[in-house]
Structure 1
Amino acid sequence: MSRRSEWGPVLRSLAAPLLLAGVAALSACGEAPGGARGAAPSQTPVAAAPAAAAPSEATLKLGRDVYNFRCYFCHGYSGDAKTLAATYMEPKPRNFQATNPQDLPIERIGAAVRNGIPNTAMKGFTGILNDEEMKAVSEFVRDEFLVKRAPNTRYHTPENGWPDHERNAAAFPFARGEIAIDTPFEQLTPPQQQGLRLFKSACITCHDHAKVNDPGKVWESRPVSFPRDAYCISCHQDVPRSEPTGVGHPQRQSTHTFAQRDGTVPVRSPARAEAQIGANYVVHDKPPALVGASAQELQGERLFQKNCAFCHAGDGTAKGWIGSFLEPHPRDLTSDEQMKGMTKERLLHSIREGLPNTSMPAWKSVMSDAEIEALAAYIARAFHPVAGIKTSQAK
């Protein structure tokens, strides 16, 4: 099984509101000269359909800020949907750069932003963005990508700490997926060999989902709620992180800081990762121990830890890394307040059909009815009692 087949159902549940600042490079590194990642789009403006007065500069600036904060993760900084997240999604996020302006009027863009698009990862932003922000980001998307075919912005800029990024051009084909990184070395030209060395020694830190001819076996069979490796935190672990609303756990408590490295733990290692960020997240990655669980509850445990822990955390608290970024936050399945009034019928319906205006997807096309029943049984046993579900402890 490839990584894509393993993670696909999980990442399809994540929509554009994933605010993973540390992953920003994944959607825009290795741009073609001129700014766009991958093949450079035409710079010739496309005539727009007749419309009202052009949006003001203030509106476009606000829309750009909202887009770069909320939307780039799936749609890409340049609106071409060439992102890591997009590779896991089916259907794919819209490529605005390849969309005819006449096919996507401003009214349709606004409706998608407000209400989302059913059966896709595009969720509605009502309750997250105000009316002015939704209008501004809709105007920005149409003006910047559909009409102007502009690149918006690049990640590798001098302002972001990347002066003279073109010197790394030999590695760009591997970052863009134009050349598979497992191509036999002797089949590469000398410049390509140099680019592959550079890519594997530096770029792959963020471009870990580079193109390969043979994906091989799944390297990690269970998704977790925090980054396992220490690449990013090896330099940035001392940067404070604000506590997201509703997530009440310690922030970046660590015994190993940048200034205190003693060499006993390798910089890039799971041990250092857990030492540095584990104080926040690894505690929520561990499922509760079940004693005397039924076969159905154990089946539910496997399903939950494989599919649901990515957002709800292994302990059901939703206080993992991903859960802290989603808006609204996933339900804390251990909370008396958030589980108040929960019944078997309500829980089964939420799992089957998903929850509108949230990142909770419908699982009815992924799991069978029996698996959904097992999942509900596990939640009632491991995290919080649910009216109508008799657990093995209650027998």
Structure 2
Amino acid sequence: MTRLLRFCFIFFFIIAASLLARDVESKKPEWGKVDPTRAKVIEEELEKEIERGRKTYNFYCYYCHGYSGDSKTLASSFLTPKPRDFTAITSDRLSREEMISAVRNGKPGTAMSAFETVLKPKDIEAVVTFVRDEFMRNKAKNTWYHTPENGWENHERYAAAFPFAKGEIPLDTPDNKLNPEQLAGKKLFMESCISCHDRAHVLKKGAVWSKTTGLTEQESMGETLFQENCAFCHDRNGAGKNWIGAFLKPHPRDLRNDPVMDGMTKSRMRKTIKNGLPGSSMPAWRDVLTNEQIDAIISYVSKVFHSIKNG
């Protein structure tokens, strides 16, 4: 009898523990068990948290993970491993606690940086709630890219550049083969759109930026690496004043005139590129770039933007 009771106790303990361990996918209560007034308050609080998370996501997270959470972004095409596609994973395979930890502490071996010093704890929790609800559970689209809320007032004023952004006109089409409207559109594209659309359709694949003359072999390698990786945030001229750079908080460093550059050393910049910069959107590149490639970028920056001291 004692053995039977012991068995029953262990059996029911295991069942209870498994129920408690389940990931609760929704904070929404079971309406039949909660006072309707209280249920409405809980639902409204949840909706407020989701919207708070949406604002945080659309400001900090979209440029790698995409507005729709599918990581189909220009930044993603540069990164290895790719940013997580939240639409391709269900919430039972990735717990809320794991996600909060990743946002707070970053993810070693990836470009996912820590946001502990950037976001408040409540904002970290809210953005995780939003991602789980919007992408992982509902597979929703969130928002479109070119909206007033995302900094694109009257997007139609860029209409002349649309054919280049959509790949309808190759970006390297000779100017003498473009009509005046197309020439204006190309100029507008190069000034306003290329920071996000810099893999536009071309007739001949290759660099679309103006090559710097008089570079050594190492500096030339650094130029290619910088323009294909770093210019996304720091701009092609190193100023960090392109649209993406202006959108990030804090802004990417101006590699030409930032006071920090006056005291910059090669060893310090190498460490920053490898490990990222806490409290900023600068990710760690140690698992993306080799030491040789990092040194090449530093040589290029030192040659073209701001002289960097040895040491």
Q: TM-score range by the shorter chain?
A: 0.5 to 0.7
- Structure 2 residue aligned with 1:245: none
Give matches, 1:69-148, under 5 Å: 69-72=59-62, 74-75=64-65, 79=69, 81=70, 83-85=72-74, 88=77, 89-146=79-136
Matching residue's letter, 2:56: V
SS in 2 for 1:339: helix
Structure 1 62/307 Cα, relative in aligned 2: closer, same or farther at 3 Å?
closer
Matching residue's letter, 1:118: P
Q: Aligned-residue CA RMSD in angstroms?
A: 4.2
Matching residue's letter, 2:180: V
Structure 1 270/53 Cα, relative in aligned 2: closer, same or farther at 3 Å?
same
On the 8 A contact 2:219/2:297 being kept in 1, the answer is yes
Shift of 1:290: 5.5
Mapped partners of 2:88, 2:223: distance in 1:
43
Shift of 1:69: 4.5
SS in 2 for 1:387: coil
Shift of 1:111: 1.7
Identity %: 39
Max radius of gyration: which structure? 2
Q: How many residues align?
A: 238
Deviating more after overlay: 92-101 vs 339-348: 92-101
- Structure 2 residue aligned with 1:369: 291
Mapped partners of 1:386, 1:74: distance in 2:
29
Matching residue's letter, 2:158: I
- Structure 2 residue aligned with 1:150: 138
SS in 2 for 1:308: helix
Mapped partners of 1:53, 1:361: distance in 2:
32
- Structure 2 residue aligned with 1:383: 305
Structure 1 232/361 Cα, relative in aligned 2: closer, same or farther at 3 Å?
farther
Structure 1 359/232 Cα, relative in aligned 2: closer, same or farther at 3 Å?
farther
Shift of 1:382: 1.8
- Structure 2 residue aligned with 1:49: 23
Mapped partners of 1:297, 1:378: distance in 2:
5
| 1:233 and 2:158 aligned | yes
- Structure 2 residue aligned with 1:352: 274
Shift of 1:110: 1.6
On the 8 A contact 1:281/1:321 being kept in 2, the answer is no
Query: Deviations 1:270-316 (Å, cap 9, x if unpaired)?
Result: 5423157738999xx9779655x544434433443343333322222
Shift of 1:364: 4.4
Query: Deviations 1:303-350 (Å, cap 9, x if unpaired)?
Result: 433433333222221222332233332221111513132112112222
Mapped partners of 1:300, 1:386: distance in 2:
14
On the 8 A contact 1:318/1:329 being kept in 2, the answer is yes
Mapped partners of 1:78, 1:385: distance in 2:
41
Structure 1 294/326 Cα, relative in aligned 2: closer, same or farther at 3 Å?
same
SS in 2 for 1:330: coil
Matching residue's letter, 2:297: L
TM-score calculated relative to the size of structure 2: 0.58
TM-score calculated relative to the size of structure 1: 0.48
Unaligned 5+ segments in structure 1 are 1-46, 161-229, 238-262, 390-395
Mapped partners of 1:330, 1:361: distance in 2:
11
Mapped partners of 2:247, 2:89: distance in 1:
29
| 1:265 and 2:169 aligned | no
Shift of 1:231: 8.4
